[in-house]
Amino acid sequence: MNENMNENAKVKFYLDKNGFFAESAMILLVLAAIFRVIGCWTLWSDRARFVVLLLLPVCCCLLMVLCIALFGKKGFFLSFIPVLLGMVFFICSAFDYGDWAYTVPIVLLCFAVCVVYTATVFGLIHTKWLLVPLFCLPLLYRLIRNDIPALLNTAKPVIFVDGMKEMSVLFMLGAMLCVSLGLKKSFKEKRVKAEAKAKEKAPAPETPAPVSPAPAPETPAAPVSTEIHTAPSEPVVQENPYLSGEPYTPVLTLDPEPVEPETADKEDADESGNE
């Protein structure tokens, strides 16, 4: 997973200002600026040479120190500005030699440094090891071809001013070599993008369908009888007016029914005959 993440995402380079290579680079750049001021102190009368050979390299060195100290962890891509200005200085100084066999390779090398360094700090190139030979080979070439033979030449010793200029160039190349070796990769932005892509590609979790409760077993409906049951009517108990606590008031009827004497006598005779 980490390999895929490193391949797909953008690489970000930074430089730890408290690291060995960063501190060495800042020391070398400050010394290079001091040596350049000492060696080109006599160029005040010629403004063009003063700007190109003194002011431009000193500004490049100090700007690079500020980039390491202030933007080493975040925004180190801004260091391409002093590097581009420094390559302009090297191209201009290469024309002072008057030897095209030396000037043309220097110009091509400066263009290569501008392109590769800018692409590296912006994350377009995912490795720092292309920068190491771009600064190491010119440093070795200058030491082997120019400096060591000049120091061994006792017939024509190196004067102090020229020695300060050469030391300034060597220290600038050495500082940029330290910067190249001290660069580190950061994958913070990669991880965020990779996680976002993984979340987008991951299928959404299936939500379980709501479980409907099992239907209750149907109980057979009780048969409804169509017969009409009439409740037995309770006998109506007539209240005896004599047993109630209320006083009895006799009711007189105006037309009492007459008792027939004949029927009364017959009933008495029947009862006596039966006896």
Cα 10 from Cα 123, distance rounded (Å) = 6
Q: What's the average pLDDT block by block, 10 residues per block, for the chain (275 residues)? A: 54 91 96 94 81 92 96 92 95 82 90 96 93 94 90 87 92 96 78 59 59 59 53 53 54 53 51 49
Residue 73 is predicted with a pLDDT of: 87
Residue 206 is predicted with a pLDDT of: 60
pTM over 0.85: no
**Boundaries of every domain in the chain:** 13-185
Cα 52 from Cα 83, distance rounded (Å) = 15
11-45 in b/e form (b: 16+ CB < 10 A) is bbbbbebebebbebbbebbebbbbbbeebbeebee
Which amino acid, 149? P
Placement of tokens 């350049």 in the chain = 36
Residue 1 is predicted with a pLDDT of: 43
Tokens coding 24: 């060495």
